[in-house]
Amino acid sequence: MYVVILAGGSGTRFWPLSRAEKPKQLISVTGERSMLQRTVERVLPLKPKRILIITSHIQAAESKRQTAPYHSVPIEVIPEPASRNTAPAAAIAAAIISAHDPSAVMALLPADHYIRDEAAFGEALLRGVQAARKGYLVTLGVIPVRPETGYGYIEADINLRGEGPFPVSSFIEKPPLEKALLFMEKGNYFWNSGIFAWRADIVLSEIRKHAPELYNAVSAIDFKNGVWDMSDLQDIMADAYSGMESRSIDYAVLEKSDKIQVVPVEMGWSDVGSWGAIPEIVEPGESGTVCINAESHVTIESSDNIIYMDGRMIATVGVKGLILVSTPDALLVCDRRRSQDVKRVVEQLVAGKKSRYL
């Protein structure tokens, strides 16, 4: 098995801690190792043949630096010349692996997710790998613990016996609350984790069938030079990417394929999509407040806040439901219910050409 880690996101909802050169996956919101490092550590016990990290050319050097200490498995950092969502990245990775090992299984996973139960993750992924060897495109479906409206869902046919994998009936975009409640009651709907397993040759065949323009663009790149170093192919990759659409692998291929199966898993998963998700990975205190990286915190009649400091002491008096993030050059104060709107700050900074804060 090969592991492909998608690490090219911009992480705008974690501004001002997340910046263009060090986005969410390259930082730690808990004061420990970065999310990319934790993702690498999570897959090492599965003993992959090689790990490929697909990232932005802006983030490639830092990705190499952060993964340099891991020596038990060869790690390749492959920079994309432009951001084109997950379908081109998945296709490029499959083409590279296929050039070396056509029928190899590859696991595809994001670099910026949190998984509490890593043993459950490993067991579920290995079950997915077994199904992938038989020619299926497999996704891990997280068993819902609440009627979440911010995630996509996978509907499965669970009439078959056992624990899965089960055939996938449909993919559903982020549903309204009433539908999310219904999905939980039915028991055959799972959160789409964005974690996949498939054979390189099979997924390329499905890309050729359902996204032929993407397949043709990737086929124009000759990865069959017998080495893993991609440095000589950067100009050719740039030409190929210039004509690629920005699409997710879900939309481009998975929602159209008849080879999809899902492995249900309960693993304490979160996509950590914004500051508002921090209480899912850091236990709040008695007042419901999470305070990270502060020298100390004095709280008076304050509750349900999310605080990230740059090492200084902070005092909160009579405030509730806020996000407070302090870095050396910027301060974010946000209503906790509007954590998704932090990306709009970045949009305004871009529009105002205030690149020093990006």
Question: pLDDT tens, 27-79?
Answer: 988 767 999 999 999 999 999 999 999 999 999 999 999 999 998 999 999 99
Query: Bridge-partner residues for 141, per DSSP?
Result: 192, 264
Same domain, 239 and 327: no
pLDDT at residue 55, as a whole number: 95
Same domain, 138 and 60: yes
Same domain, 126 and 173: yes
Query: How buried is 205 (Cβ within 10 angstroms: 0-12 exposed, 13-18 middle, 19+ buried)?
Result: middle
Same domain, 239 and 293: no
pLDDT at residue 161, as a whole number: 64
pLDDT at residue 6, as a whole number: 97
Q: Can you give the pTM of this predicted structure?
A: 0.93
Concatenate the DSSP letters of all residues of 126-160 into one string.
HHHHHHHHTT-EEEEEEPPSS--SSS-EEEE---S
How many structural domains compose the chain?
A: 2
Query: Bridge-partner residues for 78, per DSSP?
Result: 54
Give the residue, 9 or 329, on which the prediction is more confident. Answer: 329
- Picking from 16, 25, 113, 90, the residue whose alpha carbon sits closest to that of residue 62 is 25
Answer for the pair 168, 137: CB distance below 8 angstroms, yes or no: no
User: What is the pLDDT confidence band of residue 226, given thresholds at 50, 70 and 90?
Assistant: low
Distance of CA 106 to the CA centre of its chain: 16
Average pLDDT of span 205-223: 93
Residue where a domain terminates, one of 270, 301, 327: 270
Average pLDDT of span 262-274: 95
What separation in angstroms does the CA of 228 have from each of 58, 82, 100? 20, 20, 9
Helix 212-219 and helix 200-210, axial crossing angle in degrees, nearest 10: 130
- The residue behind tokens 């077994």 is 130
What CATH code is carried by the domain that includes residue 129?
3.90.550.10
The runs of H, that is alpha helices, within the chain are 35-43, 60-67, 86-100, 118-133, 177-186, 200-210, 212-219, 234-242, 249, 342-351
Same domain, 246 and 292: no
Same domain, 130 and 200: yes
Same domain, 100 and 218: yes
Same domain, 260 and 287: no
Structural domain span for residue 330: 275-357
Measured torsion, CA atoms of residues 40, 41, 42, 43, in degrees rounded to the nearest 10: 60
Answer for the pair 26, 10: CB distance below 8 angstroms, yes or no: no
CA atoms within 13 A on the CB side of 112: 26
Residue where a domain terminates, one of 254, 270, 286: 270
pLDDT at residue 267, as a whole number: 97
pLDDT at 159 over 90: no
Same domain, 315 and 239: no
Q: What is the mean pLDDT of the chain?
A: 93
pLDDT at 204 over 70: yes
Same domain, 107 and 245: yes
Structure confidence by residue, pLDDT tens digits, 93-137: 999 999 999 899 999 999 999 999 999 999 999 999 999 999 999
Same domain, 259 and 283: no
Same domain, 317 and 178: no
Residue where a domain terminates, one of 236, 270, 304: 270
Share of the chain above pLDDT 70, in %: 98
